[in-house]
Structure 1
């Protein structure tokens, strides 16, 4: 059910959708990538909100210890394409990825 309706939910209520995903750690984040791709942070009316796709993938990588290269590459791509001059998150991610 999560995988079926998540694309629609990410368009309508992205923060709440990610909140639900985070409390269900057994979800396969790889199967949620299509939902994350449908999410467009730039169309959300409240521009100050955190990028929800980055928020979820960052949680999966840092808190759940996910090592799937698809997840890591997706997160890297999101960091690299953010429309912000602040590269702190990208540089921090790259620094952590370089650790053995």
Structure 2
């Protein structure tokens, strides 16, 4: 089964995981109101204490790209961006198969 939605995967390094998690919660609330938003799964690495990943689902690639521009200006997203030391991966994916 395939879907038409787009998955956005961001893998980041943070200096202070609890602070980043709190800032991420605020960012999630803001982004959940963006056009085309479907869901956001926030996960933390089991092996690396300073690594977080976000899997955000969007209705379309255009919605994902538009949101990417909007978060740069969104004051509710700024604390999360400030908590990120490095972005290891930021990429959009189309679902090809699913079981």
Alignment TM class, shorter chain as reference: under 0.3
Q: TM-score, normalised by structure 1?
A: 0.25
| Higher RCO (CA-CA < 8 Å; seq separation 6+) | 2
More helix by share: 1
More strand by share: 2
